[in-house]
C-alpha cells in the first residue's frame, strides 16, 4: 500500500499562509453553502476545538496512534474532531471498526478527494487512492483475481528464490541488511508483476518507483498543497505566480507515467517478439480484448494499473514488517532459540524451509503474526471517507467524515494481548498449535472492510519465506560496542502513514559452517 496520504498529519503540514488562505476559503464556503445539520443526534465526543480552524493545534504529528490511544481514555472508543472544516472520526476498538467498516461498508469505503495526487500527479493508477465506485471496483476485481488466497501460491517459487538471494546477500554484506530487505521485495514484486529481473543497484525501474513514492509522501500530507483544499486551483496555469505546485506536479506526473507504463510496454514488446517470460502483466495483456473492441482502452488501462499497483503497494510495506522481525530477533534471543529449534526439528540441517513445511511450523507461524502486530506497518491503516450522513450508536456522523481505525490500539489492547509491548509469539499458541481463539493481527493490521489490503495474502507468504529462511541459517544478535559488549536495542519506530523501526544495527552470522554452505549452495544468482 505504501502509497496513500496520511489523513491526520495536519498541524505540521500547514504553513502559515496556507492556513490563512484556507480560513478565508472556509469562511466563504461556509457562508455560501452552510448546511443545516441533518440530525438532532450529537456528534461523537472529542476534544473541543476553535471555530473554523477546529482542532488544528491538537492534532498530534508524532505517532498519532499513541495520542489517540490516550484520548480514548477521556472520550471513549469513538473520537470526533474537525480540522479546517474537515471532520475526522477515530475508532478505537474492533467492535467499532467492525460495525462501521464491515457492517456499513457501502457507506464507509470512499477515500478523501486528493486533486493534487490524483488529478495533477497522475496517481490515478493506484487503486488504493481511487474514490469508491465502479472504476475502483473494476480495478479491485482485476487485482483480486491475481492475489486472492487461492491463487497466491503460484508466486511461491519466486518468493523462495528471492529469499535465497537475500540470504546470500546477507552473507556478503550483513551490515547492509536494510538495503537487502528492500532489494528482496523490489526484486520479488518486479518479477511477479513483469517478469523483470532487477539490477543489484541503481535499477532504473526501482529508482523511478522510489521517486514516485517520495512525491506521494510529500503531496500526501493533507494541506501540503492548497489545491487539495481549493480544487479549482488546479486550473491555474503553470506560469501563474505561486503556481509552483503545478510545476512540481508536472515533474511527478512524468515519473508516474514512467512507473505505470515503461515496464508494461516492455512486457508488451517482449510478447510481440515472443520472448516474454510469464508474469502478471503478460497474463493481463494476453487476455485483453482485440484492438478494435470498444472496451480495449479501458481494459488496457486497468491491466497496466493492476501490475503497477502491485509494485507501489507492495514494495515498501512488507519491508517494514521484516525490519521489525530483525529487531525483535536481536532483542528477544529466547524467541529466536525456540524458533530455530522448531525449524531444526521439522526441516533438519540439510535444506532450507519450504512453503510445504509451513503447516508443521506453528511457532514460526506465530512469529510471523507477532511480527505484524508488535510494531505495526500502518498503525492507523488508511482513512475511509463516509459517503452519506449516518447515525450510529446514538451519534451523528456527517457525510465527508474521514474515518480512521486505530489499528495500533486494537492490536495493543491489554485486555486482549497481555504485555502488548512485548514480542511474544506464544500468545497465538495453545498446546503447541496455533490457537484459533487468539486475536489474529489480520483483523486490523491490513486495514478494514471493502478497502482492506488486497495484497495481504502475498505479503504473508513473503514474510514467511524470509523469516523461516533467515532463522534456519542465521543467528541475529544485538550490535556490539567497542569493548565487544552487546548494545541494548530499543523498540522505536518512525511516525507517518508507514511506520518503520528507527534504523538500528545488529550482528548477523551464519549459525554454523554447514549453514553457510547451505546459503551458498541455494543461491541461484550471479556471484
* Binding positions: 453
Sequence-distant (6+) residues with CB within 8 A of 152 are 457, 458, 461
Angstrom distance (rounded) from CA 214 to CA 73? 35
Query: Closer to ligand HEM at the Cβ: 8 or 171?
Result: 8
Least distance from ligand HEM to the Cβ atom of residue 140, Å: 5
- Cβ proximity of 319 and 440 under 8 Å: no
Closest CA to 154 of 121, 188, 119, 192: 192
Query: Closer to ligand HEM at the Cβ: 147 or 396?
Result: 147
Query: Closer to ligand HEM at the Cβ: 128 or 367?
Result: 128
Helix pair angle (456-473, 156-172), 10° resolution: 40
Query: Closer to ligand HEM at the Cβ: 105 or 507?
Result: 105
Residues forming the site for ligand HEM (CB under 6 A): 1, 127-128, 140, 143, 147, 309-310, 313-314, 317-318, 321, 377-378, 381-382, 384, 445-448, 451-455, 458-459
Angstrom distance (rounded) from CA 31 to CA 413? 43
CA torsion sign, 355 to 361 to 366 to 368? negative
Query: Closer to ligand HEM at the Cβ: 443 or 489?
Result: 443
Q: How many Cβ atoms are within 10 Å of 36's Cβ, its own excluded?
A: 4
Torsion of CA 203, 208, 209, 213, to 10 degrees: 130
**DSSP for residue 509:** E
Query: Closer to ligand HEM at the Cβ: 164 or 384?
Result: 384
Binding-site residues for heme, in ranges, read 453
Closest CA to 190 of 210, 171, 173: 210
Beta strands of 37-175 (E only): which ranges?
78-83, 86-91
CA torsion sign, 415 to 419 to 424 to 430? negative
Closest CA to 37 of 399, 392, 393, 384: 399
Q: How many Cβ atoms are within 10 Å of 128's Cβ, its own excluded?
A: 24
Least distance from ligand HEM to the Cβ atom of residue 133, Å: 12
Least distance from ligand HEM to the Cβ atom of residue 22, Å: 26
Least distance from ligand HEM to the Cβ atom of residue 112, Å: 11
Closest CA to 387 of 397, 379, 374: 397
Query: Closer to ligand HEM at the Cβ: 453 or 473?
Result: 453
Least distance from ligand HEM to the Cβ atom of residue 424, Å: 19
Least distance from ligand HEM to the Cβ atom of residue 505, Å: 23
Do the strands 429-430 and 433-434 form a parallel or antiparallel pair, or are they unpaired? antiparallel
Angstrom distance (rounded) from CA 301 to CA 127? 12
- What is each CA distance from 154 to 161, 365, 461, in whole angstroms? 13, 20, 11
Query: Closer to ligand HEM at the Cβ: 59 or 445?
Result: 445
Least distance from ligand HEM to the Cβ atom of residue 503, Å: 19
Q: How many Cβ atoms are within 10 Å of 100's Cβ, its own excluded?
A: 25
Query: Closer to ligand HEM at the Cβ: 22 or 208?
Result: 208
- What is each CA distance from 364 to 463, 465, 509, 516, in whole angstroms? 10, 10, 20, 21
Q: How far is CA 85 from the centre of its chain?
A: 28
Query: Closer to ligand HEM at the Cβ: 129 or 229?
Result: 129
Least distance from ligand HEM to the Cβ atom of residue 325, Å: 11
In three-state form (DSSP H/G/I as H, E/B as E, the rest C), the secondary structure along 455-491 is CHHHHHHHHHHHHHHHHHHEEEECCECCCCCECCCCC
Amino acid at each position: 500500500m505504501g502509497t496513500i496520504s496520511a489523513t491526520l498529519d495536519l498541524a505540521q503540514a500547514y504553513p502559515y499562509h496556507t492556513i490563512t488562505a484556507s480560513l478565508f476559503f472556509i469562511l466563504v464556503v461556509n457562508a455560501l453553502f452552510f448546511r443545516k445539520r441533518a440530525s438532532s443526534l450529537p456528534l461523537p465526543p472529542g476534544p473541543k476545538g476553535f471555530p473554523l480552524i477546529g482542532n488544528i493545534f491538537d492534532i498530534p504529528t508524532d505517532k498519532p496512534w499513541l495520542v489517540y490511544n490516550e484520548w480514548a481514555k477521556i472520550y471513549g472508543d469513538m473520537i470526533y474532531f474537525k480540522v479546517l472544516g474537515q471532520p475526522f472520526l477515530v475508532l478505537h476498538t474492533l467492535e467499532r471498526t467492525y460495525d462501521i467498516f464491515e457492517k456499513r461498508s457501502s457507506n464507509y469505503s470512499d477515500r478523501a478527494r486528493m486533486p493534487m495526487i490524483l488529478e495533477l500527479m497522475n496517481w490515478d493508477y493506484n487503486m488504493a487512492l481511487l474514490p469508491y465506485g465502479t472504476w475502483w471496483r473494476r480495478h479491485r476485481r482485476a487485482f483480486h483475481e491475481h492475489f486472492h488466497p487461492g491463487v497466491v501460491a503460484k508466486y511461491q517459487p519466486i518468493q523462495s528464490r528471492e529469499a535465497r538471494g537475500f540470504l546470500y546477500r546477507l552473507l556478503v554484506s550483513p551490515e547492509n541488511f536494510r538495503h537487502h530487505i528492500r532489494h528482496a521485495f523490489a526484486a520479488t514484486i518486479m518479477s511477479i508483476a513483469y517478469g523483470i529481473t532487477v539490477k543489484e543497484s541503481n535499477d532504473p525501474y526501482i529508482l523511478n518507483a522510489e521517486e514516485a513514492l517520495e512525491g506521494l509522501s510529500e503531496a500526501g500530507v493533507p494541506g501540503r498543497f492548497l489545491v487539495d483544499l481549493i480544487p479549482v486551483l488546479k486550473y491555474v496555469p503553470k506560469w501563474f505566480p505561486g503556481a509552483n505546485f503545478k510545476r512540481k506536479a508536472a515533474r511527478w506526473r512524468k515519473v508516474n507515467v514512467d512507473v505505470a507504463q515503461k515496464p508494461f510496454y516492455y512486457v508488451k514488446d517482449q510478447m510481440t517478439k515472443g520472448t516474454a517470460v510469464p508474469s502478471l502483466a503478460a497474463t493481463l495483456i494476453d487476455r485483453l480484448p482485440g484492438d478494435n473492441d470498444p472496451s480495449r482502452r479501458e481494459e488496457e488501462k486497468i491491466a497496466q494499473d493492476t501490475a503497477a499497483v502491485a509494485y507501489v503497494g507492495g514494495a515498501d510495506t512488507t519491508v517494514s514488517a521484516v525490519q521489525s522481525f530483525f529487531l525483535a530477533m536481536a532483542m528477544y534471543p529466547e524467541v529466536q532459540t525456540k524458533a530455530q529449534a522448531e525449524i531444526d526439528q521439522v526441516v533438519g540441517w540439510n535444506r532450507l524451509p519450504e512453503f510445504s513445511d509451513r503447516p508443521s511450523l506453528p511457532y514460526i507461524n506465530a512469529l510471523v503474526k507477532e511480527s505484524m502486530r508488535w510494531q505495526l506497518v500502518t498503525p492507523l491503516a488508511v482513512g475511509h471517507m463516509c459517503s452519506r450522513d449516518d447515525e450510529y450508536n446514538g451519534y451523528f456522523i456527517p457525510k465527508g467524515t474521514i474515518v480512521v481505525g486505530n489499528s495500533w490500539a486494537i492490536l495493543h489492547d491489554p485486555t486482549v494481548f497481555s504485555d502488548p509491548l512485548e514480542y511474544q509469539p506464544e500468545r497465538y499458541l495453545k498446546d503447541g498449535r496455533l490457537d484459533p481463539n487468539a486475536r489474529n493481527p489480520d483483523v486490523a493490521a491490513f486495514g478494514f472492510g471493502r478497502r482492506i489490503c488486497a495484497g495481504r495474502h502475498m505479503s504473508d507468504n513473503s514474510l514467511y519465506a524470509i523469516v523461516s529462511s533467515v532463522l534456519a541459517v542465521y543467528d541475529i544478535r544485538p550490535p556490539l560496542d567497542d569493548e565487544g559488549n552487546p548494545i541494548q536495542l530499543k523498540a522505536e519506530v518512525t511516525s507517518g502513514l508507514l511506520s518503520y523501526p528507527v534504523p538500528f544495527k545488529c550482528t548477523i552470522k551464519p549459525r554454523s559452517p554447514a549453514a553457510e554452505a547451505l546459503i551458498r549452495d541455494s543461491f541461484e544468482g550471479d556471484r
